[in-house]
Amino acid sequence: MNLIIRQVMRAVFFSLFISVVVIGTTFIAFPLDNWTVLLERKIEGIPFLVLVVITPIVAGTVIGVANGWYWRQRLHVLDRQLAELVKEQKFVSDEEPYKELTELQKHMEQIQQNFRIQAENKQKLATERANEREKSLQEVVIQERNRLARELHDSVSQQLFAVSMLMAAINESGGSQNGKLQNQLQLVEKMINQSQLEMRALLLHLRPVALKGKSLQEGIKELLVELTQKVPMEIDWKIETFTIAKGIEDQLFRILQESVSNTLRHAKATTFSVLLIERDDTIILRVMDNGIGFDVEQARASSYGLQNMSERAYEVGGTLKIVSLPNQGTRLEVKVPRLKNEDESDD
């Protein structure tokens, strides 16, 4: 039922009730001998009894309409506030708040604030769970890569090394007088050596060496010294001593490892050089080889390794430039700006 109609009916019934009580009390206090007097008595041409009945009805109707409209306006404001609350938006109104609804409005604003806090907490919890899942997945991937690297090193890598030593001994002994067979044996030895290079590159890719508290310069020297002992390649380096922020060190070291892996697997190079210097507040890492080279643009679109190196350089605000010419080798250069606040934090 409509709010105004309900208020009108209540006001009319209440007015009639009050009128009956007042008139009844009056007649009890002042009893009439002749009731026809009430029918004969007129006020402004209207019989008294009729006026007694009509007046409460009219008064109740007016009061009910006014009261119903009054509460309808207030409920309309409340409805709008609830609608904004459902939309999780803050209710803003230029209207002066009604005193009767001030406390209710405060409670509604508190509920709205609680909903907002709950939503923020849920979003924060969802983000934390996603980060935890991603972190757990990364840990599982790292563990699996380490396991594969250990198994490859303990089995395939050792077997390749043994076969390589055996083939080298056969070729050095000159046991075969057949020139064609000798050439085939030498070819097999080269293939085995290449397989060893690719295996070392794969192991480096699966289980990259971490700095573990060492500086970038120390990590590069340790890596290159190890390569010199294991890889039949002329390796040289020029490394200057200067402080580098930890985040930049990690990314540059990963880029160098990726570059070493690519050189061992694809370049067929005989020389490999690394340069790490600082010039004009810029850290420069340059890696060069004399391998077969490759098409940079084509490889950039399909090579995960090149994309990974570019992303790592970008993460520290640097740039990656690669120049490669067929049968002339490849040069990779990373430049990272050295900021003043980094120098202060390092000091």
In a domain? residue 323: yes
Cβ atoms < 10 Å from Cβ of 92 = 6
User: Could you tell me what percent of the chain has a pLDDT over 90?
Assistant: 22
The enclosing domain of 322 has a CATH number of: 3.30.565.10
**Number of domains the chain is built from:** 2
In a domain? residue 168: no
| 319 φ, ψ (degrees, to nearest 5) | -130, 150
Task: Give the residue from 96, 125, 144 where a domain finishes.
Answer: 96
Local structure of residue 314 (DSSP, 8 states): H
Q: How confident is the model at residue 301 (pLDDT cuts 50, 70, 90)?
A: confident
Are 91 and 221 members of one domain? no
Residue type (1 letter), 95: E
Q: How confident is the model at residue 344 (pLDDT cuts 50, 70, 90)?
A: very low
Task: Give the residue from 71, 96, 121 where a domain finishes.
Answer: 96
Half-sphere exposure of 291 (CA within 13 A, CB side): 24
Is 338 in contact with 281 (CB distance < 8 Å)?
yes
Would you give the distance in Å from CA 12 to the centre of its chain?
A: 64
- Round to whole Å and give the CA distance between 112 and 106: 10
In a domain? residue 344: yes
- Round to whole Å and give the CA distance between 84 and 77: 11
pLDDT at 334 over 90: yes
Task: Give the residue from 96, 122, 150 where a domain finishes.
Answer: 96
- Round to whole Å and give the CA distance between 26 and 31: 8
Name beta bridge partners: 319: 335
In a domain? residue 226: yes
Q: Which of 111-125, 187-201, 256-270 has the highest mean pLDDT?
A: 256-270
Coil, strand or helix at 32 = coil
Cβ atoms < 10 Å from Cβ of 210 = 12
In a domain? residue 15: yes
In a domain? residue 136: no
Q: Which residue has tokens 């409670």? A: 107
Give the mean model confidence (pLDDT) for residues 223-229: 87
Tens-place pLDDT, residues 77-136: 777 766 766 665 555 554 555 555 567 667 777 877 887 888 788 888 888 888 888 787
In a domain? residue 203: no
Coil, strand or helix at 263 = helix
Tens-place pLDDT, residues 9-30: 777 777 777 777 777 776 676 6
Q: How confident is the model at residue 69 (pLDDT cuts 50, 70, 90)?
A: confident
Q: Which residue has tokens 């890889």? A: 231
Name beta bridge partners: 325: 329
Structural domain boundaries enclosing 228: 212-347
Q: What per-residue confidence (pLDDT) applies to 149?
A: 65
Are 221 and 92 members of one domain? no
In a domain? residue 178: no
